[in-house]
Amino acid sequence: MSLEFTHVTLGQRVLFGSGRAAEHLASEVARLGARRVMVIASIAETRIAENVARHVEVTLHYSDISAHVPVEKAEKARAAATNHDIDLLVSVGGGSTTGLAKAIALTSALPIIAIPTTYAGSEATNVWGLTEGARKTTGVDDLVLPATVIYDASLTLSLPVGLSIASGLNGIAHCIDSMWAPRVDPINAALGAEGIRAFSRGLPLIKQDPSDLEGREMALYGAYLSAVAFASAGSGLHHKICHVLGGTWDMPHAETHATVLPYVLAFNAPEAPEAVARIASAFGTNDAGEGLRLLRETLDAPRALQDFGFKAEYIPETVEIILPAIPESNPRKATRGNLAALLAAACAGDDPRILSDDRSET
């Protein structure tokens, strides 16, 4: 069988090393010749951000951050950057923080240095997202791709175990979605598989000993791999579902992804044997769903969307919003009936295997 595909690898500088974030940031600011730096970090991570930027002259510390990047928050941050004549954005935090930096870069073309403190992976993609009127809009633009990513596992030590697990499972969702996303190819599939292996090793170590840097380094490594795979392959069924859940119902990002993941895997598995075999191998099991189930049990992962505010009565409206966004390339055809069944199972925390057995396409 011949091998033929088109692959794009995004150009980005990555600096990885525990305890070296401040050193790396100072060197990158100097390399980029920046003079007016805006450091973006939530109030909760102000101390971390100040410590990381201790060798840098900061023009503006900015902390008005919200999940899912509301448009009004983006416009306020853009105005602040303009008013202070900023020439470099530094984001220190999770996906919401990186997302706000991207929103500024989208209209200003300012470079970003991203310093993640979770495993969201946004720092390694050219994908942006904004929420307005309970609807989340996403797009792709190289302007929002951070010029440099600085990974320092010691900065994740303050991330609680529960959120570490949810964030890591979000990373695994990037990996799995990349196996059947619109631009899937052998390279991003390989990156996704290695990402699953890294998370499968790192997350149990974090659960066992939250102060052990080895697990957190593996999770950050997995986060980068997962994001690079996702950026190349594009957004698949899982992310289309979760973007609607987050943007429409204001659900927590990491926990929502962690909860929905096994249901999407079970839904697509019967129609994607090659992808499922690769996923199973990455988990070190004979069955992809079983591998994910065992990992989730070890981690005591989030189980039901209803635990985070989603209600069964929301399902019909959610289905109508999701359906037009699902890629034609998804292995299994999504319909109102089977998509509603997926959401109902995820809402209640039912066994995901019921979706593999249900072949109704009504």
- Amino acid 357: pLDDT: 63
- Summarised one tens digit per residue, pLDDT across range 188-241 is 999 999 999 999 999 999 999 999 999 999 999 999 999 999 999 999 999 999
Exposure string (b/e) for 43-54, b if CB count within 10 Å is 16 or more? eebeebbeebbe
Q: What are phi and psi of 23, to 5 degrees?
A: -65, -45
3-state SS of 154-189 is HHHCCCCHHHHHHHHHHHHHHHHHCCCCCCCCHHHH
Q: CA angle, 349 as apex, 343 and 354 as ends, to 5°?
A: 70
- Summarised one tens digit per residue, pLDDT across range 298-345 is 999 999 999 999 999 999 999 999 999 999 999 999 999 999 999 999
Written as six digits, the tokens of 66 are 């919200």
Q: What are phi and psi of 53, to 5 degrees?
A: -95, 20
- Domains of the chain in sequence order: 13-156 (3.40.50.1970), 161-357 (1.20.1090.10)
- Amino acid 1: pLDDT: 45
- Amino acid 360: pLDDT: 47
Written as six digits, the tokens of 352 are 């995901």
- Summarised one tens digit per residue, pLDDT across range 41-56 is 999 999 999 999 999 9
Rounded distance between C-alpha atoms, residue 15 and residue 38, angstroms: 20
Q: Please give the model's pTM, rounded to 2 decimal places.
A: 0.92
